[in-house]
Amino acid sequence: MLEKGWNPRLPYDTLKRDLVDIYPTASSFKLILDKARHHAKRCMKDSSKYAKERWDKSNKSPDLKIGDLVLVSTLNFNNIKSPKKLKHSFAGPFMIKALH
């Protein structure tokens, strides 16, 4: 310390750092937290699986092919300057030229 101005880190210091004395109550509390975390993770996974099954059961993706005619919603078109009640709900029909 006096010679270099800093405390050198020795291999024994890293071993000593890993060997921390843990009280039994702390280890049991950690075990409880680990079980709760595992249970929450499992519940979230089950919930997302159930939500996906519900969504897939009620929602079907449209079967579109090249050459089909489709209408486009104008709900988010901000460039149409007319009163809302006079604005058309859909624009088109447009022909599908390519699928991505």
**Segment 10-57, tens digit of pLDDT:** 777 766 665 566 677 877 888 899 999 999 999 999 999 999 999 999
Confidence band, pLDDT 50/70/90 cuts, at residue 68: very high
Residue linked to tokens 């880190």: 9
In 3D space, the residue among 61, 65, 63 whose CA is nearest the CA of residue 97 turns out to be 65
Q: Which amino acid is at 54?
A: R
Query: Which pTM does this prediction carry?
Result: 0.46
How would residue 96 be classed by pLDDT, with cut points 50, 70 and 90? very high
Higher pLDDT, 43 or 82: 43
pLDDT of residue 84: 75
Q: Residue type for 44, please?
A: M
- The length of the chain is 100
- CA–CA separation, 100 vs 96, rounded Å? 11
